[in-house]
Structure 1
Amino acid sequence: MRPLCCSNPGATLSYLIGIGYFRRSVAMRKANLVVVALLASLAGAAAGENLLPEFTGEWANGGPYTTSGLKEKAVYLLLVERGCPHCASLWPALGQFAQEMADEPVLVVGVLPGASKNAAESYARANEIKVPLYADADRSFEQQLLAMNLLPKPISLQNTRQALVADGKGVLYRAMWSEPVQALKRVLTTARWKVPAAEVVEPLKPAWRAMEFGQLSVSAPLIAQALKARDEKVKSCAETLAKSVKTTIEALLAEAKAKAEAGEKWAAYKILMNVSNDYKDFPESKAAATEMSKLKTDKVVAREAQARTALDNIVTQMLKSPTPSKREQGKQYLQQLIQQFPDTEAAAQAKGLL
């Protein structure tokens, strides 16, 4: 990918637009998550709510998870300073707590500000941690929590641990790290399973949990395999899980169709794009690509897609080279995007990033 330090900013932006909206590397998907997180934070701020930030970094000991994948689930977050000599004693109890909550729509997550994925994995092994760890290497997750006044100060040896809970709508609340059960009482009523735990046979629990918590690429092959099982109970359960996914996809496709018919074609296109990406391992998602092609002929949709392509690529470059000079160059390209596509959603998002 061409670097942003090109001597001709106009040529660089043209190149960024021309890369292609459908070419999604890991870095591009991460950039997209940053943009999605920005939208969510702006919407939350407008509504006076503190929303769970997107997880744009890497995971250890489990995961990955996304904020959108955790919709209608409660989340318990424990942020810990790795250098704290006393914090290791927290993890056995937290692992036990997660196990006890296995049949509840709750995800228990440890967050390690400043830790790389490798460091988080080493920390998990050393402390025999049984819950997924989010490696907040650049502390961007922590910074968003600080901006929302959900943390008194950064996690450090002077502030070794903090807990938060998110309800089924993603709204965050402060919690007592020593009382996770009490913390979850206020949010559990807002969380739900798509398929009740009592209806899931033991062999399909991994596939079920992956589906419920948005790990669709993990759940898809497990469900597909179970659909061929000789055990009728396993096969029947797999059919229930597959039906749940199908129902979700069909609802999203119907929502996209309604928006397109109402003239909201860009909104419809984005829904279809998410279906095509998130549910790509399920056959029902193929219809989304067909409908996207039809919508792409609309001039407004094409222009929005162009601007979104440029924005995703600019953010990708800024994430790949997070030095002050590169970030400053990235800001210049964001400003140029705003000038070139002033009436687009991407321009509004670029203003937010600035």
Structure 2
Amino acid sequence: MSRRYPVALATLAAALACVANVSAQSYEAGEQEPALRLPTDPRLWHNSPPLTLESLKGKGVVFYLFEEESPRIAANWPNLQGLSKQYEGKPVLFVAVSSGTDPRVLKRYLGQYRVGWPVIHDYDRSLERAMAVPQLNPGGDEFAFRYVAGDGSMGQGKGADVAGTAEAALKGAAWRVDPAEVPEKLKGAWRAVELGSFTAAARPLTQAAESKDDELKAGAEKLLAAVEEELTSAAKEAQESLNEGDDWHAYKLLESIPQRFDGYEFDLIERAEDKTKELAKSDTVKGQIAAAKMLGKAMATASRGPSGVNRAKGLLNRLVEEHPDTEAAVKAQELLASIGS
């Protein structure tokens, strides 16, 4: 189609983006522990910062994949957004996905039809494929619903039944903190906590915790307790990895803690930093870090365009040779295989 985004999937740059953003595996309804990953690049999100299924754990998520060239789809946005408003007080999020679209066209489209949902720009259709959705096109299949339920199960939507799909997504879903218990002044911080954006909530919560307003202080304390519970869960997962001898996984979990919980003064954060430094001295973690840096360099090189692709391929081959037993080597092999190298 004339308005489609021209993506050169044969290039290494496209392959890198595909592997980095989503694990292209189909799924059946009820499957647990989904391999699905949402893009982390902010440029691929509209109306929202990047969200992850990890940050949305325990919430229901309804994905609406749509064909933006369809007049029927365009005319139905007011109805869809009206239906979603009926679920504003419930732990379910609606996310739209536009596949294969020119980014400039998509931006104009979202403004023209006043789409307020978070929207993912699935430029190479990798998310569409990962959700086992046949390629959408005008006159054919123009939309599809998929969902991730609060209990972690995944499934196909119920046709055009938005309410039915939302109810399926709500299975096992719950808020960390009941919004009815949160003062209006802290609703922004509450939303950040519920979406896993803990750093964004740090300042308003720490300030409110010192407030002389009893209601505001009580609300802040409940939200801080929810944040600390999430921190404790992350630290516990890291400890389990250590107990199993998986130092690299533990390192990654612990390294992310200071970033995820920046702005808080919980003791666990400092302990995580200390343990991260200790693990970084082990040979296993050193090798993984070195390999990850090489992979990052290859990605940066490939992003420079066709001239950088061959150099990036050389870096990936070198990575596989020098660090064959690393996580980055596995990704490098996937990338090389995807481009026939």
Q: TM-score, normalised by structure 1?
A: 0.77
More helix by share: 1
Secondary structure in 2 aligned to 1:86?
helix
1:94-243 equivalence runs, <5 A:
94-115=80-101, 119-145=105-131, 150-156=132-138, 158-168=140-150, 170-243=152-225
Instruction: Check whether the contact 1:32–1:312 (CA below 8 A) recurs between aligned residues.
Output: no
Instruction: Check whether the contact 1:280–1:286 (CA below 8 A) recurs between aligned residues.
Output: no
Matched, 1:308 2:287: no
Residue 250 of structure 2 corresponds to which residue in structure 1? Answer: 268
Secondary structure in 2 aligned to 1:103?
coil
Per-residue deviation, 1:34: 4.9
Residue 71 of structure 1 corresponds to which residue in structure 2? Answer: 57
Residue 60 of structure 1 corresponds to which residue in structure 2? Answer: 46
Identical aligned pairs, as a percentage? Answer: 27
Residue 28 of structure 1 corresponds to which residue in structure 2? Answer: none
Instruction: Check whether the contact 1:91–1:127 (CA below 8 A) recurs between aligned residues.
Output: yes
1:251-266 equivalence runs, <5 A:
251-266=233-248
Cα pair distance change 1:116/1:229, threshold 3 Å: farther
Residue 245 of structure 1 corresponds to which residue in structure 2? Answer: 227
Residue 10 of structure 1 corresponds to which residue in structure 2? Answer: none
Read off the aligned partner of 1:95 and give its amino acid letter.
Q
Aligned mates of 1:228, 1:94 — CA distance in 2 = 41
Secondary structure in 2 aligned to 1:53?
coil
Secondary structure in 1 aligned to 2:76?
helix
How much is the aligned-residue C-alpha RMSD, in angstroms?
A: 3.2
Cα pair distance change 1:314/1:67, threshold 3 Å: farther
Instruction: Check whether the contact 1:49–1:171 (CA below 8 A) recurs between aligned residues.
Output: yes
Per-residue deviation, 1:230: 3.6
Read off the aligned partner of 1:96 and give its amino acid letter.
G
Q: More deviation in 175-184 or 75-84?
A: 175-184
Residue 73 of structure 2 corresponds to which residue in structure 1? Answer: 87
Per-residue deviation, 1:63: 3.1
Residue 352 of structure 1 corresponds to which residue in structure 2? Answer: 334
Greater relative CO (CA pairs within 8 A, separation 6+)? 1
Aligned mates of 1:169, 1:309 — CA distance in 2 = 35
Aligned mates of 2:19, 2:270 — CA distance in 1 = 26
Aligned mates of 1:119, 1:222 — CA distance in 2 = 37
Per-residue deviation, 1:289: 2.1
Aligned mates of 1:171, 1:120 — CA distance in 2 = 30
Per-residue deviation, 1:181: 1.3
Cα pair distance change 1:121/1:308, threshold 3 Å: same
Residue 3 of structure 2 corresponds to which residue in structure 1? Answer: none
Instruction: Check whether the contact 1:210–1:218 (CA below 8 A) recurs between aligned residues.
Output: yes
Q: TM-score, normalised by structure 2?
A: 0.80
Cα pair distance change 1:81/1:41, threshold 3 Å: closer
Instruction: Check whether the contact 1:80–1:161 (CA below 8 A) recurs between aligned residues.
Output: yes
Read off the aligned partner of 1:136 and give its amino acid letter.
D
Read off the aligned partner of 1:292 and give its amino acid letter.
T
Q: More deviation in 152-161 or 127-136?
A: 152-161
Cα pair distance change 1:258/1:62, threshold 3 Å: closer
Cα pair distance change 1:206/1:214, threshold 3 Å: same
Per-residue deviation, 1:252: 1.8
Structure 2 unmatched ranges of 5 or more = 1-15
Aligned mates of 1:59, 1:290 — CA distance in 2 = 34
Aligned mates of 1:235, 1:33 — CA distance in 2 = 45
Cα pair distance change 1:36/1:290, threshold 3 Å: farther
Aligned mates of 2:22, 2:279 — CA distance in 1 = 25
Secondary structure in 1 aligned to 2:71?
coil
Cα pair distance change 1:79/1:321, threshold 3 Å: farther
Aligned mates of 2:20, 2:192 — CA distance in 1 = 25
Cα pair distance change 1:179/1:42, threshold 3 Å: closer
Aligned mates of 2:329, 2:196 — CA distance in 1 = 29
Secondary structure in 1 aligned to 2:120?
strand
Per-residue deviation, 1:50: 5.5
Aligned mates of 1:49, 1:232 — CA distance in 2 = 41
Runs (4+) of structure 1 exceeding 6 A deviation are: none
Read off the aligned partner of 2:223 and give its amino acid letter.
L
Per-residue deviation, 1:116: 5.6
Cα pair distance change 1:53/1:245, threshold 3 Å: same
